[in-house]
Structure formats: structure tokens, C-alpha cells
Amino acid sequence: MNLILVTFIILLAFTSYYFGRKKALVIQSSQRLTALPKFYGYYLAAWCAAPALIIFALWSVFEPSIVKTFILQDYTDQNLTKNELQLIYTKVKALAAGTYTGNITNFLDESANKYIQLKGIANSAKVAIILAILIFSLSFAYRSVQKNDRMREPVEIFLKWVLFVASLGAVLVTIGIVFSLLFEAIRFFQAVKIFDFIFGTHWYPAKTFVRDGQPDPELMKDAFGAVPLFAGTFFIAFIAMCVAIPIGLLSGIYLSEYAGRGIRKYAKPIIEILAGIPTVVYGFFAALTVGPFVKEIGNAMGLEVSAESALAAGAVMGVMIIPFISSLSDDVMTAVPQNLRDGSYAMGATKSETVKKVIFPAALPGIVGSILLAVSRAVGETMIVVMASGLAANLTMNPLESTSTITAQIVVILIGDQQFGDPKTQSAFALGISLFIVTLLLNVIALSVVKKYREKYE
């Protein structure tokens, strides 16, 4: 139904484009055109499609919730909770669609009939309104075409609006992220005190699971302490940086200061391949090769090593991050003006002394920025940790034991079927918003540092 309507609108818009252009050619025989003939077509087509499609979109967004309120009106006197109402509504919908398999009460049947009736009314109303709008806006547009008004300006203004709305898309995504996270997180913090979440040291959401009814508030208090996850996240990121910073920085220095053009041309893109490999592939590699390898070495040295150690996950993550640091630091060091180098050489410094005492300090802000970006990347990395470092949230600083991270826990909680309204599910969103805030802060700082640095030398 909706598809037919949209296709109809679009087809009508195309027809009106050709119609408008033809009309312009007719006008041309008696008076001077105000714009190229195709703009007459665009003008008609825009007036035809835009209002109708906007109304259609708004209608589609609001119709379900309006129908829902009408249906649930009959249940207001029963003192039901929100979840129960939602359940009833789902049942009604399923019954109306003929896919309901539970037992059918009279009340439910009545509601389903009402639902079908409402849907029918809504559908015919929608078609009627959209047809009316089409007729109205087309006749309006046709009048101005007939009057031979200016045609190009309105079309261009319309296009500009389209462009503007598209650029709002990115903002809309951000708003969507913030709201969807906040909405669930706030409900989570109604059940669990924010203090318990941020400072609690015990993360074990599975134990709050109760088949029916509400979980024990005492249990809730002790199950959602996120400290082990924050610690684990930064610990694994720290291990990753221990691998990535020395290798990445030294490669960056070598590429920018020592390597000939030939090496640079090939080595840089090859190293960058490391960043292009999907993280799930790293995860598999870490779990299957690096983890057992670390364990074997540890056992040979007489240490007790978990097969899913933080070390393995962190090290592999570090390898993944190398190119972020090497390429960015290479770029910032290449951007350091040549006269700084020449000055240093003129004073008799060797190349390495120049790098250490002149170029590195000059490029430091940019390098710090690149490291911060790399940290934010490591903090947000998911699959490596899910696959290579255990899923139990231990509060430990031993790299040979397994730890878990914010991202890994989100996956653990939400994999499989989720039940909205369950504190366990909501806790994932609370974790998500803390992750979002941390990475956002890191990025803002990193970008401002890099920006400041760039201004210095431009």
C-alpha cells in the first residue's frame, strides 16, 4: 500500500517534469521564458513530490503511536504497567495480522477488530489527504507556470534546502546516538544508583536475572559496579599502547627522516594495511595463535597464564594500532619546516640528534594528538577483546589473567535476544554512554591539539 502510494507520487513527479517542460515550450511561442524550459519541469516536479512525500513521512511516523493510544484507551482502567500494556498491544497486532497463537480472549478479539478498523480508516484517510495535497500543490504550481513567473530561483532555493536538510543528517545521527543511549541509561539509573555503577567493584549482571517479577534490589546494588570494566578497558588499552607507541613512533620517525622515497612509497601503504584488516580477523588471530603462544611461553617460564590473557588481546590490538601512530606521526614530522632541520645540521648535530632535540619537540603536539586518537581507538575496540580476552570482569592488574572491557560486556549482554526494560539490557546502554563520553573527550582533545599545532606552522 505504502509502496504503491510512493511510487505513484514519484511517477507523477516525473510526468509533471515532462509536462512542465512541454508547457514551457508552448509558452515560448508567445512570450519570453524566464528560465530554461527544464526549470519549469523541475518546478512542477518539486511541488508535486515534496509536500506529498513530507506529509507521507510524517504520517507514517505518527500513525502507529496514535493507533496505539486509541487501542490502549480501553485498558486504562485496569491499572497495568507500561510493559504489560506493550505486551497487550503486541498481542493485538499479532491477532490482527493472523499470526497470534496464544489463547484469544473476547477483549483481545474486540481490540484486534478495532485495530483493523482503525488501520483501515487511517489508510483511507492517508490516501485521501495525500491526493488532496497533490491536487492542491500541483494546481498552485501550474498556475505560476502559466503566469510565466520566475522559475529558476524557486527551484534553486528548494535544492539548497534539500542540501541543507542532508547536512543535518550527521547532526541527526549524533542526536540519535545521545538520545537512544540516554533514554535507556536513565531508566537503568532509576534502578541502580549511579554511585554504585561508577564506584562499585563487582560486575556480574547475570545474577540479577529473575524469571518473573522484579529482581532483588540488594542484588542489583552489587551486580553493576563498572570499575572492573573501566580498569580492564584502560589496562588493555595501556598494553596496546605499550606495543604500538614504540613501534609506531620509531617507524614514523624512520619513514619521515631516514627512508628514501622508494622505501617510503612502499612501506607506508603496506604498514597501513594493518589498520585495514577487520578487527574480527585480529580477534581470531589473537584467540587462536597469540593467546596459546603467550600461554606456552608463560608456562615454560613457570608462570600461570590464562589462555585468554589480557596480554594477548592487548598486544594484538597494539599491532592493529601501529599504523595510526606511524602514519600520523610521519605526517606531522614531515610537515615540520625544513629550515628547522637545516639550522640544526648547521650547528653540527647528527640526524638522530636533530630528530630527538628539534623535530620531535616541534612535532610533539601532533604526535600527542595521534596517540590520543589511537587510545580512543583502543578503548572503543570490541571484537579483539570479545574473542581473545575472557568475558568475566576480573578486577586485576595482572596481564596474564583475563579481564573484560566496556565494549566486550556490551556485546556479552546484548548478544542473542534482548528484553527491553530489563536492567541487564539497560546496563549495556549505560556502558555505551560512558564509552561514548570517554572517546568523545579523547577525540575533542586530540583534534584541538592537532589543530593548534597545524596553525603554528601554516
Partner 1 sequence: MNSFKKNLLKKRYNAERRFQWYGKIAIGLALSFLAVFMFQIFSKGYSAFQKTWIVTEVHYDKELLLIDAESPSKDDLENADYYDVAYKAMTSLDPGLPEEEDRQLIQMVSYKYEAEVKDLLLKNPDYLGKIVPIKLTASDDVDQVHKGNYPRDIPEENRRVNDYQLQIYDMLNERGDILSEFNISFFTSPDSREAELAGIASSFMGTVFSILVCLAFSFPVAVLAAIYLEEFAPKNKFTDFIEVNINNLAAVPSIVFGLLGLGVLLAVFNLPRSTPLVGGITLSLMTLPTIIIAARASLKAVPPSIREAALAMGASNMQTTMHHTVPLSMPGTLSGTIIGLAQALGETAPLILIGMVAFVNTIPGTPVDPAASLPVQIYIWSESAERGFVEKVSACIMVLLAFLILMNLAAQIVRHKFEKKWS
Cβ-proximal residues to 356 (8 Å cutoff; 6+ apart), any chain? none
- Other CB atoms within 10 Å distance of the CB of residue 133: 18
Taking the complex as a whole, the smallest distance from the CB of residue 159 to partner 1 amounts, in Å, to: 6
Query: Which CB, 12 or 388, lies closer to partner 1?
Result: 388
DSSP string for residues in 134-184: HHHHHHHHHHHHHTT---HHHHHHHHHHHHHHHHHHHHHHHHHHHHHHHHH
Per DSSP, what are the bridge partners of residue 224?
203
Query: Which CB, 142 or 203, lies closer to partner 1?
Result: 203
Taking the complex as a whole, the smallest distance from the CB of residue 340 to partner 1 amounts, in Å, to: 18
Taking the complex as a whole, the smallest distance from the CB of residue 422 to partner 1 amounts, in Å, to: 13
CA distance 187 to 192: 9
CA distance 268 to 283: 24
- Other CB atoms within 10 Å distance of the CB of residue 254: 16
Query: Which CB, 44 or 249, lies closer to partner 1?
Result: 249
H-type alpha helices, 32-75: 37-72
Query: Which CB, 60 or 201, lies closer to partner 1?
Result: 60
Q: Is residue 378 a contact partner of residue 407, using CB atoms and an 8 Å limit?
A: no
Whether the CA torsion 266, 272, 276, 281 is positive or negative: it is positive
Cell of 139: 494546481
H-type alpha helices, 286-359: 291-300, 310-334, 338-346, 351-354
Query: Which CB, 249 or 371, lies closer to partner 1?
Result: 249
Query: Which CB, 342 or 353, lies closer to partner 1?
Result: 353
Taking the complex as a whole, the smallest distance from the CB of residue 10 to partner 1 amounts, in Å, to: 15
Taking the complex as a whole, the smallest distance from the CB of residue 379 to partner 1 amounts, in Å, to: 7
Query: Which CB, 246 or 343, lies closer to partner 1?
Result: 246
CA 88 to chain centre: 32
The C-alpha cell 497470534 sits at 100
Taking the complex as a whole, the smallest distance from the CB of residue 382 to partner 1 amounts, in Å, to: 4
Query: Which CB, 168 or 303, lies closer to partner 1?
Result: 168
Which phi and psi (to 5°) does residue 128 adopt?
A: -60, -50
Whether the CA torsion 94, 98, 102, 106 is positive or negative: it is positive
Which phi and psi (to 5°) does residue 224 adopt?
A: -115, 45
